[in-house]
Structures are given as C-alpha cells and as structure tokens.
Amino acid sequence: MDRRSFLAAAAATFVLPAPATTSSRTLARDPFTLGIASGDPSTDGFVLWTRLALDPLGANGRGAMPSRDVEVDWQLSTDERFGKILRSGTATARWKDAHSVHVELDGLEPGREYFYRFRAEGRLSPTGRTRTAPSGATQPLAFAVAACAHYEHGFYTAYRRLAEQEPDLVLFLGDYLYEYGPSGYTALAGRVRTHTPGKCATLADYRLRHAQYKSDADLQRAHAVAPWLVSFDDHELENNWAGPVSSTGAPAFAHRRASAFRAYYENMPLRRASLQGAVLRVNRRVTWGTLARFHLLDTRQFRDDQACLDGVRAGCDERLSERRTLLGGDQWRWLSEGLRASTTQWNLLGQQILMMQRDYKRGPGREVNLDAWDGYAAERHRLLELMSTTSNPVVLTGDAHMHHAASLKLDFDDPDSPVIAPELVASSIASDGDGYRDKVWIEEGLAENPHISYIDQRRGYIMARLNSTELSAEFRTLEYISRRGAPAKTTHRVTVPVSAP
C-alpha cells in the first residue's frame, strides 16, 4: 500500500460519485464529522464504528442531527480504492443511540488488512484501514500505546505522529477525554482550546464532550489507520472514582456513571458484548496468533475505594491490607485463569495505572499514590507472583502523564529481587501541556526508585515492535503541543529479549 495516498485519503472525505441511495432523504451536510474507527480484532473480524453528526457541537450532544433514525451503508474491501467490494450491508444509526453505528463482522480471513467506509443518504465517509488478528505463526506486530488526551492542554500532534507510523494496532489505556468544564483541571497558562461548557454530568454532556474530542482531525487520523483496543480510566466519568463511589460525593453517581458508560460505548469501536446492564465490560483478551495475547484490564470499575482518603501520601497502613482489591473478584479469576491458560509466547497486560512501586518523596520516608497499584499493594504482590509463572509478561500503562520504563519486582526494596516483568508507561497525548524535562527532579525520582530506568515529562506515546525473539519499545516524545507540527523523536528505547519457557 502506498502510505501517502492512504493518509491523504484518510484525511479527507471522498468526493466519489455516490451510488443511487434507496432513500429519497438527504442530509444537509457531511454527517461524518466525528470520523470512523475500528476495534477489537479477532481472527475473523472486528467492529466498525461511526457516529453521525452534522455539527459536532450541536445542542444536547446530538450533533444537530434530524430527530429520526438514519440508514448507513457500509463497505469492506481488501483494496483501498474499493475496486472489489468484499462485503457490504446496512446498519441503522438510531436517534436513541445518538446516531452511532457499530458493525461487527465475522467470517473474514485471519491476519489480513482491510479497508472500510460508510455512506449515509448520499454522503460518503473517509476510508479506514483495519485488520484481523492472525492465527498460528505470525509476522512481527507493531503496536502503539497511548493515553490521556486533555483537549484543552494542547494539539493532538502525538496522535498524528502515531498515525504516520501506521501501527497494526493501537492500545488506548484511559483518559480519552476529561470531564471538567473549561479550565477545570490545572489551568495551564497556554490552554490552546476550550472544553464545552460545564462539568460533564448528564448523558447529553458526555455525548457533547465526546463529539468535541472526536471532531479533531489528528484523532480521526489515528483511528482511521488501525484497529484500537480501548479501555477507560477515571476521567471518562470523573476524577478518581472507585467502583460505585464518587470521589466528590456527587449525588446520583450511579445515574451519572451509567450516562458516562453509555456515551463511551456510543463513541468507541467496542463490541456490543461490552454492554452488560449497568456494567461496561472492557476487560477482555485479544490474541495475536501464537505470538502474543493482550489482556486488557479494568482497574477502575470493580475496585475498592482508595485507602486513607486517596491522594499521594505517607504512612497509610490500610493500603497494604490483604482484603483490598483493585480488580474485583470476578476479574481477578478471569485474569488468573487467562494467564495460566495462555499458550502465546508473550502476554501483554494493558492497564490504566502505575503498577510499579513509586516513591514520590525525596530523601527518607515514602509517599505513594493511593489511586495507583501502590494503594492495593497486596493484590499487586499476588498478581506479580502469578506473572512470575506466565510466559514473557509485559505490563503496559497510562495515567502518569510521563513516560516511565521500569522493572516490576516482588520486592521493590530488594535489589536482588528478580525482575518479573517490564512496565512501560506511555506519557500523555496532551494532558499537562508541553511538559518539560526537569533533570534534577528526574534524577531524584530515579534515585528514590532504582527499579525505574527512564522518566520523561514531555508528551508522547510508545511504539512497540514484537517478534518471537524480542520486544523493542520506542518512547516517542514531542517537544511541544501548544503549537502544531512538532516532530516525534525516539528519546528512549527498551529491548526485552524473549525468555525460554
């Protein structure tokens, strides 16, 4: 495939002559202002997504769409010019679903690239590229890891650079959007754009915020280039919520949570099976031939409330309690059974919050983040014990708004404790703005935490390449996002050789 022609095509709405539509209705403008996406590849299919909006910021989160259902045709081809249509069909973008469409395909060939597009009432969408997972022995896998994309804090150049690298797969590990109203979270001096009004609380609020984020061309480009495996953390609903508990004690939290979950599903390339009543199930597995299995975790929805009133603090014995759970009983059983049964060479755990021990206090004493695994230390220990019998485990993480490379150990305070797995933490796409490189702060952080080998406070993502002999992860870093156009540079590389079974 010609890289430039595909990216050019993905960036612009096609102006091909549209075949005659079965409906005499027409939409006044292009309804594909929120882009297209695909996700959750299996060996024979994936989910295709779009959501129609004539104006992303239209009132009540409804994108200025007419108050009726709209028929949406879809097409699949192995050729980006759609010379031969492999599959096609029609889905209904329902008013009640904010005109979102999820098409789940099966019966396709494993390990292949496909192209897709939609058409609604004579209007054609951009083209997306996606792929099925391979079966058996497979080519090397290139995947990107990204998290945390506060819209106000900077432009999405990191998404654009990620798209230009054309990964096979994108893992998104939480904070796809932020719920705060304008300047509601760390009022940076250089805010580049403004959230929709108010803190998100209702279904209409969350729909509108998703539409605002999805209207970004760089984000659309990243979705169009590869299937995504998405999972949420806290800000898709509310800062530092925990299971049924609001961190702010806001009233009617269950209703708000349901609204946030519904809007999240409507706006993401998730399979219908992820909707399970009041639960939005995002812990799931994707297998990439005999090479790798991704175990996507949910460290937010089933957790116990944070110990000692949350925060970064010292001296909290409660965080060490054997009874505390981060994953919840069902997910723990699902994960432990999945790790034990896995026969792939690599096992990649995609999850939201720092798994490593992380001391934030300079000098003697220790301060840890009670929202991260440090607040659930006994369960972390059990998980690391389990991972010590797992084939080539690797932990992939978001949340920190800084790149980190670290070694996970059963005893972080013992230099002789064996390394169980690497933890690779992707910095943020945009959250916290340009960032900086505070050498003194980093040196102190590394000195306090000898199991950490790299910290970088600038924006970026991870691009990893995996084959049967090694994992090679590049930390991709941008100097600025307050202006457009920053290049992404590889500022650190981690190579993990495969270990014999």
**DSSP-assigned beta bridge partners for residue 490:** 476
Least CB distance from residue 398 to Fe ion, whole Å?
A: 7
H helices within 122-168, ranges in order? 157-164
* Closer to Fe ion by Cβ: residue 172 or 376: 172
* Closer to Fe ion by Cβ: residue 175 or 371: 175
Least CB distance from residue 328 to Fe ion, whole Å?
A: 22
SS3 465: strand
- Angle at which helix 203-214 crosses helix 253-266, to 10 degrees, equals 30
CA distance 32 to 390: 44
CA distance 264 to 47: 15
Least CB distance from residue 246 to Fe ion, whole Å?
A: 18
Q: Which of 358, 372, 374 is nearest to 448 (CA)?
A: 358
Least CB distance from residue 373 to Fe ion, whole Å?
A: 16
> Which amino acid would we find at residue 210?
H
Q: Which of 264, 261, 245 is nearest to 253 (CA)?
A: 245
Least CB distance from residue 77 to Fe ion, whole Å?
A: 37
* Closer to Fe ion by Cβ: residue 132 or 352: 352
Least CB distance from residue 334 to Fe ion, whole Å?
A: 25
Please report, as ranges, the residues that interact with Fe ion according to CB under 5 A.
148, 175, 431
Least CB distance from residue 465 to Fe ion, whole Å?
A: 26
* Closer to Fe ion by Cβ: residue 436 or 468: 436
* Closer to Fe ion by Cβ: residue 175 or 374: 175
Least CB distance from residue 432 to Fe ion, whole Å?
A: 8
CA distance 6 to 15: 15
* Closer to Fe ion by Cβ: residue 121 or 371: 371
* Closer to Fe ion by Cβ: residue 46 or 232: 232
* Closer to Fe ion by Cβ: residue 120 or 368: 368
Classify each residue of 221-241 as buried b or exposed e, where b means 16 or more C-beta atoms within 10 Å of its C-beta: bbbbbbbbbbbbbbbbbbbbb
Least CB distance from residue 380 to Fe ion, whole Å?
A: 20
CA distance 372 to 354: 6
* Closer to Fe ion by Cβ: residue 347 or 431: 431
> Which amino acid would we find at residue 492?
H
CA distance 3 to 190: 34
> Which amino acid would we find at residue 433?
G
Q: Which residues contact 74 (CB under 8 A, 6 or more apart)?
A: 48, 88, 89, 90, 91, 101, 103, 116, 117, 118, 119
* Closer to Fe ion by Cβ: residue 358 or 409: 358
Q: Give the containing element (helix H, strand E) for 210.
A: helix 203-214
Least CB distance from residue 149 to Fe ion, whole Å?
A: 8
Integer CA distances (angstroms), 385 to 176, 237, 251, 339, 379, in order? 31, 32, 39, 12, 10
* Other beta carbons within 10 Å of 139: 12
* Closer to Fe ion by Cβ: residue 148 or 462: 148
* Closer to Fe ion by Cβ: residue 72 or 242: 242
Classify each residue of 404-435 as buried b or exposed e, where b means 16 or more C-beta atoms within 10 Å of its C-beta: bbbbbbeebeeeeeeebbbbbbbbbbbbbbbb
Least CB distance from residue 234 to Fe ion, whole Å?
A: 8
Decide: residue 247, CB within 10 A, 0-12 exposed, 13-18 middle, 19+ buried. middle
Least CB distance from residue 363 to Fe ion, whole Å?
A: 28
